[in-house]
Amino acid sequence: MDDFRKTVDTLSLEFGGEMIGPEDARFDDARGVWNAMIDRRPALIARCKATNDVQTAVKFAAASELSISIRGGGHNVAGHAVCDGGVMIDLSLMRNVTVDASARIAKVQGGALWRDVDAATQAHGLATPGGLISDTGVAGLTLSGGIGWLRAQHGLSIDNLVGADVVTADGNLIHTSADENPELLWALQGGGGNFGVVVQFEFALHAIGPEVMFAAPIYLVEDGPEPIRAWRDFLAKHGDKVGSLCEFATAGGEDFPEEHWGKRVFTLACVYNGDAAEGEALLQPLRELGEMSADFSGRMNYCDVQQLFDTLMPAGEFRCYWKARYLTDLTDEMIDLAMANALAAPSDSSLSSLWNFGGATARVPANATAFGDRSMGWMYSLDGVWTDQVDDEVNIAWSRDGWSNSERFGHHGRAYLNFAGHGEDNASLTQTSFGPNYERLVKVKTKYDPQNRFRFNQNIAPQT
């Protein structure tokens, strides 16, 4: 340990960021991530300020034969950002975003959050598809897909990733784009954090807003499935312009009538990817499908929409276990099952949701990105969220049971790898979900990280 300490002291002379070891008063805060269940202790946290700090930290890990975890936004529910006994490369000080409005490109540092990107791009009336919660990291969300409100018209986050700067396992900095190291760009488009530390992403931008139409009529589960069936049929016609999810939750607080508090509800949440007034008219029928418990619909700024759900999910407060599978279709039976699963949730903080695909997302060929096949029509996600450790078992069981009992509606057993439990089914889930792209990913992994230094992720093992 003394030798290790000496090496760290030497390293800190050439490191421009912050070195945080277990004896440091900042250690417990620095190793904490979004899911309060994750309690791991890295040997060293290297909080980088610049690309050369990342290179120094990667070379140090290699020389010390330590594995590396990478913290982007720290939102991964499996806690892949933090490792036991290795080097945690923390990018939380690298959040810069620069926008070239005429080229419609944003350059985004590897530790940026979606709210950083939205603020910088909307200043020019532009945006790129992100996620639904603004303090989720750009890096982790993008590298495994990225499913957000703009997917109907502009696809997943990876479909807009046009370049990246990556520090690979040997500490070298590599640029990748369609013209330079294109195989690496392909792998980053869904293959996760397997190939190195992405210090900068380059995204294509699109004209969005600033005002968009957001619809969120809320109905009681006990009133029956008809609104969900009507919403499904509506999306079959308008899925090219509407990014949507049906989210099951529990009513509470002043926005709901008091007699509904504690009852299960579902929101038919939609963002119209086009003119706000046009969207308001188009989405109106979804607000007339029965008696609403509440209605959060309205025309609002895109940045506000991107932050609407933030208060549901504060960092570090909840214990979580999430699973999501793709569905071929959304049948009446699957809707009934989703309602039954929502009613059975042991925690009022848990959510579950049905997400539509189609539109631009579905038009990308299966081999164009590592992510793979786009022919799934839907995704079903079970987000177990609770506060007390004694409730761990029952809440994890709820997510897993819902995952199992929906298997017959699944899309070839494929899953969204950003919502993959705590990583316990990694090997099988990864292979099944990448499908025919898996072997090509193994080749890229073997080239850029032959010793599997980057293994705290949905791991793709290199060839030995």
CA-nearest of 84, 33, 89 to 61 is: 89
Q: Please select the residue that binds ligand FAD; options are 8, 48, 57, 143, rule is CB under 6 A.
A: 143
Q: Please select the residue that binds ligand FAD; options are 17, 146, 384, 421, rule is CB under 6 A.
A: 146
CA-nearest of 141, 102, 108 to 125 is: 102
Q: Is residue 106 close enough to count as binding ligand FAD by CB under 6 A? A: no
In 3-state terms the chain splits into helix, strand, coil percentages (rounded to 5) of: 35, 25, 40
What's the min distance (Å) between Cβ of 58 and ligand FAD?
11
Candidate ranges 72-80, 260-268, 277-285, 402-410; the one touching ligand FAD (CB under 6 A): 72-80
What's the min distance (Å) between Cβ of 257 and ligand FAD?
27
Candidate ranges 67-75, 173-181, 214-222, 327-335; the one touching ligand FAD (CB under 6 A): 67-75
Candidate ranges 145-153, 255-263, 288-296, 398-406; the one touching ligand FAD (CB under 6 A): 145-153
What's the min distance (Å) between Cβ of 259 and ligand FAD?
29
Q: Please select the residue that binds ligand FAD; options are 81, 126, 269, 360, rule is CB under 6 A.
A: 81
Q: Please select the residue that binds ligand FAD; options are 17, 32, 42, 110, rule is CB under 6 A.
A: 110
Candidate ranges 71-79, 119-127, 223-231, 403-411; the one touching ligand FAD (CB under 6 A): 71-79
Q: Which two tokens stand for residue 324?
A: 């999501």
DSSP state of 461: P
Q: Please select the residue that binds ligand FAD; options are 129, 131, 190, 421, rule is CB under 6 A.
A: 131
What does the CA dihedral 249, 252, 255, 260 come to, rounded to 10 degrees? 90
Return the SS3 of 349. Answer: coil
Q: Is residue 430 close enough to count as binding ligand FAD by CB under 6 A? A: no
**Please, which of residues 326-365 interact with ligand FAD by CB under 6 A?**
none
What does the CA dihedral 276, 238, 331, 365 come to, rounded to 10 degrees? -110
> What are 379's strand-pairing partners?
326, 355
Measured from the CB atom, is 15 or 448 closer to ligand FAD?
448
DSSP state of 144: T
Do residues 245 and 356 make contact, with C-beta atoms less than 8 angstroms apart?
yes
Q: Is residue 58 close enough to count as binding ligand FAD by CB under 6 A? A: no
- The H or E element that residue 392 is part of is helix 392-405
What's the min distance (Å) between Cβ of 145 and ligand FAD?
6
From CA 92, how far away is CA 48, in angstroms rounded? 8
CA-nearest of 453, 413, 459 to 191 is: 459
Locate the DSSP E strands across 209-293: 211-215, 217-220, 242-250, 264-272
Do residues 167 and 51 make contact, with C-beta atoms less than 8 angstroms apart?
yes
The DSSP annotation for 266-284 comes to EEEEEEESS-HHHHHHHHG
Q: Is residue 34 close enough to count as binding ligand FAD by CB under 6 A? A: yes
**Please, which of residues 182-241 interact with ligand FAD by CB under 6 A?**
193, 197-198
Measured from the CB atom, is 257 or 314 closer to ligand FAD?
314
What's the min distance (Å) between Cβ of 102 and ligand FAD?
27
Candidate ranges 132-140, 226-234, 276-284, 392-400; the one touching ligand FAD (CB under 6 A): 132-140
DSSP state of 221: G
Q: Is residue 243 close enough to count as binding ligand FAD by CB under 6 A? A: no
Q: How many CB atoms lie within 10 A of CB 443?
A: 14
From CA 71, how far away is CA 18, in angstroms rounded? 14
Candidate ranges 64-72, 227-235, 267-275, 424-432; the one touching ligand FAD (CB under 6 A): 64-72
What's the min distance (Å) between Cβ of 79 and ligand FAD?
7
Q: Please select the residue that binds ligand FAD; options are 45, 126, 133, 150, rule is CB under 6 A.
A: 133
**Please, which of residues 409-428 interact with ligand FAD by CB under 6 A?**
418
Q: Is residue 462 close enough to count as binding ligand FAD by CB under 6 A? A: no
Q: Does residue 225 have a cis peptide bond before it, meaning omega lies within 30 degrees of 0?
A: no
Q: Distance from CA of residue 40 to its chain's centroid?
A: 21
> Which phi and psi (to 5°) does residue 443 adopt?
-65, -40
User: Would you tell me which residues interact with ligand FAD (CB under 6 A)?
Assistant: 33-34, 69-77, 80-81, 91, 110, 131-133, 136-137, 139-141, 143, 145-148, 193, 197-198, 313, 418, 456-457
